[in-house]
Amino acid sequence: TQLLEQSPQFLSIQEGENLTVYCNSSSVFSSLQWYRQEPGEGPVLLVTVVTGGEVKKLKRLTFQFGDARKDSSLHITAAQPGDTGLYLCNAGGTSYGKLTFGQGTILTVHP
């Protein structure tokens, strides 16, 4: 069974601070996605990474896929209250099938 572990599980910070969320596994993945979910809504895709060592930037968000494709990080610079939400990492295996999810990181950014 492929398991993804996210850390931290909860994160409460002040507006303007930087933060990093981690997603780790003992398994190798063909791809890894980061999603953000708000209450009452489904997860919304932020980014997909497929190449080991890949770094993608989305405004103030920086995503990195580990060289061995077993881990990833999400870094947010100068967090804003609008960044508040549940951040989920999930990963595909060797096919275009099911995704394996981490338990998520609940981020709260206080004004």
Q: Which residues bind other proteins (CB under 8 A)?
A: 30-31, 33, 35, 40-45, 48, 50, 88, 90, 92, 96-104
Nearer to other proteins, 10 or 111 (CB): 10
CB of 104 to other proteins, least distance (A): 7
CB of 7 to other proteins, least distance (A): 13
Nearer to other proteins, 42 or 111 (CB): 42
C-alpha span between 106 and 5 (Å, rounded): 14
Q: Please, which residues have CB within 8 angstroms of residue 51's CB and are 6 or more apart in sequence?
A: 65
Nearer to other proteins, 40 or 82 (CB): 40
The CA-to-CA distance between both ends of the chain, in Å, stands at 40
2 in Cβ contact with 93 (< 8 Å): yes
